[in-house]
Amino acid sequence: MVDYIKHHESDWLVSYELKYGPRTTLYLMRMCRRFAARHGFNDKAFWEKHFGKDASLVLNCDETGISYDMPPRKILTMKRSPADIDTIEKNSGRITAVLTVRSDVLLVDNFRAHVSKESYETVERTLKSELYALPPNTTSVCQPLDVGVVGPYKAKLHALWLRDTNKYSTPASKRLAVIKRAFAAWDGITESCIKSAFAKAIPKLED
């Protein structure tokens, strides 16, 4: 609904924002929810179900790939020359980092392995927690880590990679270097960064 308003009622939205200022988003979302309720739609917001949970008990888990070498995404070539690649180097320094932020409720995306029956049972039995899958195709806007943490985390990884002048010759030493950088980068993520990501992805909107 908000997207429709942005594209088809932009003049009204501008006047609405001038009227309510910094509380525009709060009032607009509340109005849209009430409009939906009047027309028979159910509000299945995350906080409606877990409103009683303390914020420190909501845990978010996401994974991202990191590498020993972090080259740019583009290559350089002479003007008017073909950009053919002659050889491919196998990189032995790539690992997957699983990022976890403070567990009573565990938020995950809809990757099949994350939302399997076994996953639900494991989280409940082993972690004594409740697994909550985000709606399909909403990771970029509803996954706190994806919304506001992975970007800064990757930036810190790049900075650490630039400052690391050591040479690592074996696969084991490269993996160890990546792991150390991963921990150092995670230590650099502030509490305010995480809180901001949660507030942006799954805000508590008061009626």
Is residue 122 included in any domain, yes or no?
yes
Give 47-82 pLDDT, tens digit per residue.
566 666 666 666 667 777 777 776 666 666 667 776
Average pLDDT score over residue span 73-94? 62
pLDDT score recorded for residue 56: 67
Q: Range of 154's domain?
A: 53-201
Query: Per the domain annotation, does 172 fall within a domain?
Result: yes
What pTM was estimated for this model as a whole?
0.52
> According to the model, what pLDDT value does residue 207 have?
46
Chain mean pLDDT for the chain: 75
Residue 187: the pLDDT is 92
Number of domains in the chain: 2
Residues 135 and 57 in one domain: yes
Residues 147 and 63 in one domain: yes
CA atoms within 13 A on the CB side of 56: 0
Tens digit of each residue's pLDDT (9 = 90 or more) over 117-169: 888 888 788 767 778 777 777 766 777 777 788 888 888 888 888 888 888 88
Of 19, 30, 54, 13, the closest CA to residue 205 belongs to: 30
pLDDT for 38 equals 78
pLDDT for 206: 52
Confirm if 24 and 72 have CB atoms less than 8 A apart: no
Spatial distance between the Cα atoms of 120 and 139, rounded to a whole number of angstroms: 19
Which pLDDT score is estimated for 45?
A: 56
User: Does residue 10 sit in the same domain as residue 62?
Assistant: no
Q: Is residue 44 part of a domain?
A: no
pLDDT at 151: 86
Q: Are 157 and 70 in contact (CB under 8 A)?
A: yes
What is the enclosing helix (H) or strand (E) of 126?
helix 117-126
> In this structure, are 72 and 25 located in the same domain?
no
Residues 149 and 185 both lie in one domain: yes
Q: Flag whether pLDDT at 176 surpasses 70.
A: yes
Laid out side by side, the sheet with 94-101 consists of: 94-101, 58-67, 105-108, 130-133
Strands (E), 55-182: 58-67, 94-101, 105-108, 130-133
Together in a domain, 163 and 93: yes
Q: Which range (10-14, 58-62, 184-188, 202-206) has the least confidence?
A: 202-206
**206 found inside a domain:** no
